[in-house]
Amino acid sequence: MMRSLDIAATGMQAQTTNVETISHNIANMTTTGYKRRRAEFQDLIYQDMRRAGTMSSDTGDLVPSGAQVGLGVRTAGIYRINEQGTLEQTGNALDLAIEGRGYFRVTLPSGEYAYTRDGTFSLSNDGTIVTADGYPLSPDISLPNNAENITVDQSGQVQYTLSGQTTAQVAGQIQLVTFQNENGLAAMGQNLFTSTTSSGDPITGTPQSTGFGDIRQGFLEESAVNVVTEITDLITAQRAYEMNSKVITASDEMLQTLTNLK
């Protein structure tokens, strides 16, 4: 069988992955705190038809370049592009955006930690600050039932006043978490990530300290997807898929010609 059939098939599979990645980006163009993904590819192993550096004669002449045939392409990885998304003002006191590096840490029902850039928080029935799915911010921060004028400064300190009082009281301190390799985090859906061996251990710190971003109250970080870029990439991937399919068609016609020889 002609190698070109298998080679073109790997190209079609690679562009299928590429289109799936792009479609995931477009589907999340309005997801709070979403970071666009990019598929990366590598060429496959090569077959040596004539190895470079081998002797071509008894006098010691060497083959200068040789002849290698590549066997196609494979997906090397799908990376997150950790660009800062635009901050959208909402006016909601418990909408929090991170400007700069860092993730909010939340506690899952299992007791394990997860990490998110989605700062859409609200209060639970006992006054604890929780995510849209009810997962509490870690460390826990709770507010009394009669709390008013909730404020969160850029360093993450949460304050409030009680009805009839003017003196602000401190409810708690928001902590941020960073990682040596953010691309090593494992996405689990719901805008949440979990740490892995590749990401490294979580590094906890206070907002505005060295290596950590600021907290912006009343804002949310928009998706970092650029629709124009995604549509352009989608067209390129579609054309690449079509060209690989034409290679298969051409290879099939060549085989048919050989079959019809008498």
State pLDDT tens for residues 211-237: 999 999 999 999 999 999 999 999 999
Flag whether pLDDT at 118 surpasses 80: yes
Percent of the chain with pLDDT over 70: 95
Q: Are residues 186 and 254 in the same domain?
A: no
Quote the CA–CA distance of 135 and 84 in Å, as a whole number: 24
Q: Are residues 56 and 135 in the same domain?
A: no
Q: Are residues 31 and 144 in the same domain?
A: no
Q: Are residues 43 and 76 in the same domain?
A: yes
The whole-number pLDDT of residue 45 equals 85
Q: Are residues 102 and 213 in the same domain?
A: yes
**Reported confidence tier of residue 57, pLDDT bands at 50, 70, 90:** low
- State the average pLDDT over residues 42-55: 78
Measure Cα distances from 173 to 61, 159, 256 in Å: 74, 9, 72
The whole-number pLDDT of residue 260 equals 84
Query: What's the whole-number average pLDDT of the chain?
Result: 92
The whole-number pLDDT of residue 70 equals 86
Q: Are residues 72 and 131 in the same domain?
A: no
Flag whether pLDDT at 262 surpasses 80: no
Q: Are residues 121 and 202 in the same domain?
A: yes
Flag whether pLDDT at 84 surpasses 80: yes
DSSP H or E segment with residue 214: strand 214-217
The whole-number pLDDT of residue 33 equals 95
DSSP assignment of 164-183 equals T--S-EEEEE--EEE-S-GG
Contacts of 186 (CB under 8 A, 6+ apart): 193, 194, 195, 196, 199
Q: Are residues 116 and 212 in the same domain?
A: yes
What's the domain count of the chain? 2
> What confidence tens digit (pLDDT) does each residue in 145-179 have?
888 899 999 999 999 999 878 889 999 999 999 99
The whole-number pLDDT of residue 21 equals 97
Query: For residues 238 and 46, which has the higher predicted lDDT (pLDDT)?
Result: 238
The whole-number pLDDT of residue 127 equals 93
Hey, what amino acid is at 70? G
Quote the CA–CA distance of 11 and 239 in Å, as a whole number: 11
- Dihedrals φ, ψ of 12, to 5°? -65, -40
Beta strands at 203-205 and 122-123: parallel, antiparallel or unpaired: unpaired
Q: Are residues 216 and 232 in the same domain?
A: no
The whole-number pLDDT of residue 56 equals 63
**Reported confidence tier of residue 58, pLDDT bands at 50, 70, 90:** low
The whole-model pTM stands at 0.86
Residue 212 structural domain? 87-221
Q: Are residues 102 and 183 in the same domain?
A: yes
The whole-number pLDDT of residue 69 equals 85
Q: Are residues 49 and 18 in the same domain?
A: yes
Flag whether pLDDT at 49 surpasses 80: no
Q: Are residues 212 and 108 in the same domain?
A: yes
Quote the CA–CA distance of 78 and 138 in Å, as a whole number: 29
Flag whether pLDDT at 65 surpasses 80: no
